[in-house]
Structure 1
Amino acid sequence: MTEPAETTAKSRRRRWPQGYDPQGTRRALVDSSLHLFEQEGFDRTTLQQIVDGANLTKGAFYHHFQSKEDVLWQIQNEYLDTQIKAARAIVEQHSDIADQLRALIRLSLSGVASYRAHVAIFYQERRHLTGEHLRAVTEKRDELEALICGIVQHGIDAGKFRSNVTSRIVAFGIIGMCASTFQWFNPDGTMSVDDVTDQFCTLVLDGLVV
């Protein structure tokens, strides 16, 4: 005998043995969205799919998020906030310009390995952000770009990098090269993050260092 849809839906709801866990609920919704946005795309993912994937209800979703776009914004923030914090630390910890650039390239590649779904969604689905969400994410993206651009310009001004290059173009080249790895890099494959970092740094620094 087939169970009524209402009974089936109730049986899927997540239960918290130790009581309601708001952070766990929010995390489950974000993780479900991460998987679906990467596999299906933002447009084709429904709210019902998100809550089903998290074993939750639409009521739980709207308790934490206003819309699918709100979750997308949260996903973008998770990735960008982590990268910005680590990038600032790199600039503070390394005094040598080449070492700063090398560490930032490794950070970008490590980000792809650790946050592959975040990176894929950032580049493929960011266009769905609007208004304040778009403005906030754009500001954070610009901050990361400015950090790399500033390091390259500092190297040019100090006479350590070639003077016949434009820092902004070099920065965009580095960002694009690193970002594209989400399409092909496999952290469990034959090459490690360090292996790819070494080859990328050879390409970039051999072309920059005087």
Structure 2
Amino acid sequence: MTTTLLLEIFAGFFTAFIALWMLALNRPTAVAAVPISVGDSAPAQDSSIAATVRQGLMSYFLREGRLANTGLLILRLAIGAMMIHHGQDKLADPQAFATNYVVPLHLPFPLFFAHVAGYSEILGSWLLILGLLSPLGALALTGTMTVAAYHHILTSGLNIYVLELVVLYLGGSLALLLVGPGRYSFDAGIVDGLLADSNTSATNAPAVSEASVSYGMAAEAS
């Protein structure tokens, strides 16, 4: 095991612990219900859309269950720590990778796509490890692994010994893209803070509106 590998694994676990610390500081708060009058159809529709978006963000980034979130953290660290080295190998000799892997796919500008693949795997891996913009990181790895699977099928057929590693990386990154990074991530802390701020502003808005109406009625009475 090289020193670079040890440093990358240590950095991955260190950032994961930072994500846990951020989660502890940003625990989800209860969502306060905002009263909406029956006659206000437009505010009711806006509130319904906002509630749907809020529910989608919570189900994707703020998943319940300690074991489920721990499993997503382990999956992110495992895929990210291992995929980094594939990107480093590509960038170590991009011309060789372009000749052996990109040219058989008949893609234009093979050297350019070799660099794109290398940087996508490195940056995507770090985004997964950190849990920061993790959907973009999972999408980058899913894209590169999809192209890799197509290349292996095109050149070697359905050879399980050639496809197994690519399919494992593809399945793991696609699962993270669909399910989300879990609570133990920077994304969860950011989304939790944004939802808390929106809930606070939503609960304060009706109070301001009612106060202005009461002030107007008092002014007319005087």
Superposed pair shares fold, TM > 0.5? no
Structure showing greater Rg: 2
TM-score, normalized by length of structure 1? 0.25
The structure where helix makes up a greater share of residues is 2
TM-score, normalized by length of structure 2? 0.24
Q: Which has the higher contact order (CA 8 A, sep 6+)?
A: 2
